Amino acid sequence: MFFKKENQSDMNESKKDIKKKDFRIKPYIYDFKGAITMTIRVLTNKEGPQISKHIYGQFAEHLGRCIYEGVWVGEDSDIPNNKGIRLDVVEALKQINVPVIRWPGGCFADEYHWKDGIGPKEDRKTIVNTHWGGVTENNHFGTHEYFHLLELVGADAYVNGNVGSGTVQEMQEWVEYITFEGESPMANWRKENGSEKAWEMKFFGVGNESWGCGGNMRPEYYADLYRRYRTYVRNYTDKPVYKIACGPNVDDYNWMEQVMKIAAPYMDGISLHHYSLVDGWTNKRPATNFPEKEWFSLIDSAKKMDELITKHSTIMDKYDPDKRVGLIVDEWGSWFSVENGTNPGFLYQQNTIRDAMVASLTLNIFHRHANRVKMANIAQMVNVLQAMLLTEGDKMIKTPTYHVFDLYKHHQDAELIDTYGEAKTNTDFTVSKKDGQVAVSVVNYNIDGTEEMEFDLSDFDISDSEAWIVAGDKMDAHNTFENSEVVAKTEFKDFSVENNKLTVTLPAMSVATILLKG
């Protein structure tokens, strides 16, 4: 083993500067080919923040084929279903331990009037989805169907309320309808519609993208409106509703500043939206058949999430130094041009190994900010943007992003482990512990060439291990309905454990999780 000082130019610095410099040494190992491998010191005995399972949340909007066809097929469908909810999708979501599903939007939330979506289906009002494709919806998927989906999947509720076109009374009555167990007009109405027992609603969003499609509001105006509306999001049980304010779009730091200044004491969380783009909003690029430069430009856009969370958290710290208010990244993921031949308003796109890289890097960033980021919801769950699943009639396929979520489910509610040492260029990692096990997830987003990483876990006595990998053989490797296993989660064997040190040799364009048992 050889050692190298952090910065050789330190020798030329003044004594004053030298006193400020960190002269910790970084260990390197030189393999037989001359390649340099960083050794990461894993501090398993040092306590870290909990990685909330809700970071692995999903987003299901009335958009394109996410709800209708993706989740809801109706009771009379030939596709196997439970009261209209398609079962193949349910089973796939259960496999990755989906913890929470945000619904009904998105932009759709601020034009959704919940009373149109309850009662006998033949009596429900049809509506035009003006945001997404201009299609007419029959409202067959409403409040009761949503909570049935949650029950089947085993997920928590995150309901987004209508501030843009709705009233305070409408919002108050919806919360009462969902959560009140006693005698009241709304509770009795719910019982008449078939749900004797109230539901638990863990999270509630007061408006969505109020700076844009949710009303084009100024931050000061929205902050006052939030204080008014959230007052009537009543806690009808001993489990308070976690109330989420509409936060900024990407790097709108003024929005965060003003809303936190005016409304911080009245919120439990505040949202943040950031999508990964290849070349900005006005020149969306295809999800497949792209040049090498677009591989890296998308990844660079995804990595901006770290800067956004850091800067927004700094503002939040001014008004919430105890970090009581959670940062809720309830829309994130890759956004490309739609697939040829599909409705532009449906935002249907293919999902490749490049998206798996985006998912891994973004989840790692959320982990590193676990003391502030308390929930995230990838956009979206089925058939829209960076989806977990794609459906076509009675067929369903799992995307590369789905398989990353499957790899990372071991980090849910685990304790983040502090590490010393940085990953090499085009690699990243995250480490957590839970139930006597340590999970190490690594990503190599080089487009060619393997990378070797070593993790020193001297404080953890390793007794057994198992591992899985998701990898692609080309930049746009993806699954289709004709070939659904091009990119899949498979057993990973190219690692070794010796003297409580883990050495991983990771191929290009791959993500792996190694589970170490103590």
DSSP per position, 104-134: S-SGGGGG--GGGGSS-GGGSPPEEETTTTT
Range 211-223 average pLDDT: 98
pTM: 0.92
Convert 164-217 into a string of H (helix), E (strand) and C (coil). Answer: CCCCHHHHHHHHHHHHCCCCCHHHHHHHHCCCCCCCCCCEEEECCCCCCCCCCC
Tell me how far the alpha carbon of residue 407 is from its chain's centroid: 14
Nearest Cα neighbor of 158 from 237, 271, 45 is 271
Cα separation, 389 vs 383, in Å, equals 6
Distance of CA 383 to the CA centre of its chain: 16
> Do residues 375 and 269 touch, judged by C-beta distance below 8 A?
yes
**Residue type present at position 256:** M
Is residue 417 a contact partner of residue 460, using CB atoms and an 8 Å limit? no
Query: What tens digit of pLDDT does each residue of 411-457 get?
Result: 999 999 999 888 888 999 999 999 999 999 999 999 999 999 999 99
pLDDT-based confidence at residue 76 (cuts at 50, 70, 90): very high
- Which pairs with CB-CB distance under 8 Å and at least 24 residues apart come from 36-39? 36/424, 37/424, 37/452, 37/453, 37/454, 37/503, 38/421, 38/422, 38/423, 38/424, 38/453, 38/454, 39/421, 39/454, 39/455, 39/456, 39/501
Tell me the per-residue pLDDT of 247-288, one tens digit each, with 9 for 90 and over: 999 999 999 999 999 999 999 999 999 999 999 999 999 999
Angle at 201 between CA 199 and CA 205, to 5 degrees: 145
In angstroms, what CA-CA distances link 356 with 16, 161, 485, 492? 46, 31, 15, 17
Q: What is the pLDDT of residues 5-44, one digit of tens each?
A: 333 333 333 333 333 333 233 333 333 333 445 688 998 8
Tokens 């700076």: give the residue: 211
pLDDT tens digits along 131-152: 898 899 999 999 999 999 999 9
Whole-number percent of the chain with pLDDT over 70: 93
Q: If DSSP codes are grouped into helix, strand and coil, which group holds residue 346?
A: helix
Let me know: does 258 contact 221? Beta carbons within 8 Å: no
- Establish whether 209 is a catalytic residue: yes
What structural domains does the chain harbor? 53-414 (3.20.20.80), 424-517 (2.60.40.1180)
Is 137 marked active-site? no
**Active-site residue identified among 331, 415, 452, 454:** 331
467-to-490, 507, 513 alpha-carbon distances in Å:
9, 14, 6
Looking at 173, 176, 209, 454, which residue is catalytic? 209
Phi and psi at residue 414, to the nearest 5°: -85, 170
Instruction: Print the SS3 string covering 444-494.
Output: ECCCCCCEEEEEECCCCCCCEEEEEEEECCCCCCECCCCCCCCCCEEECCC
> What is the maximum alpha-carbon separation in the chain?
81
Residues 333 and 57: beta-carbon distance below 8 Å: no
Q: Which contiguous run of DSSP H or E holds residue 516? A: strand 510-517
The pLDDT of residue 424: 83
